[in-house]
Amino acid sequence: MFAITGTPGVGKTTVSEILRRKGYRVIHINEVAEYYGCLSREGDELVVDLDCLDGRFDPYEWECDFVEGHLSHHIADRCAVLRCHPAELLERMKGKGWDEDKILENLEAEIVDFILVESLEMCAEVHEIDTTGKTPHEVARIVESIYLRQTASPPGNVDWISEIGGEIDRFIRKRL
């Protein structure tokens, strides 16, 4: 199973929809969690119980090419981690009307490579794609090419801390 993962707002759902329209079978991590009874609601948010899913998930029950979601790397052996420059990600999240705490939490996760590090711990094969300035169709083509083993995009090419340097305060607590 191939995961399309990354911090919320980087383009996973849009890219997954493009791949779905191309004929690939795509599921969302929440569908998998719901199937196994590992999904609950806390306020306005759906929460995946990863311990529950770990004990119940069977990849052979799923006929899919891709699993999408910021937790999808927990159930896959191959993945593409989508990344986005914090300045662009900030504008995307503001455009979606997200509250400041959610924006700050996700910006910090992106800056410190949180999803990438988790993916490296969980998946046998990890690719990293910088979506900054790319159209969703361009990113979908890259993901498809990696999935088909026509190309690779190994991790280690994105380093937001070095790139944003002294501007880091712009993207963390109290600076929106």
pLDDT digits (tens, 9 = 90+) for 7-58: 999 999 999 999 999 999 999 999 999 999 999 998 878 899 999 998 898 8
Task: Pick 2-170's CATH classification: 3.40.50.300, 3.40.50.1820, 3.10.20.30, 2.60.15.10.
Answer: 3.40.50.300
% the chain with pLDDT above 70: 98
d(CA 4, CA 66): 7
Amino acid at 175: R
Give the β-pairing of 45-48 and 39-42. antiparallel
d(CA 74, CA 94): 28
Element (H, E) at 41: strand 39-42
DSSP H helical ranges for the chain: 12-21, 29-35, 50-56, 86-95, 100-111, 114-122, 136-147, 160-164
d(CA 133, CA 45): 29
Which residues make up each annotated binding site?
Answer: 9, 11-14, 134
CB 140 within 8 A of CB 93: no
* pLDDT at residue 176 tops 80: no
Which residues make up each annotated binding site for ATP?
Answer: 9, 11-14, 134
Element (H, E) at 45: strand 45-48
DSSP-assigned letter for residue 171: T
Provide the whole-model pTM.
Answer: 0.92
d(CA 143, CA 137): 10
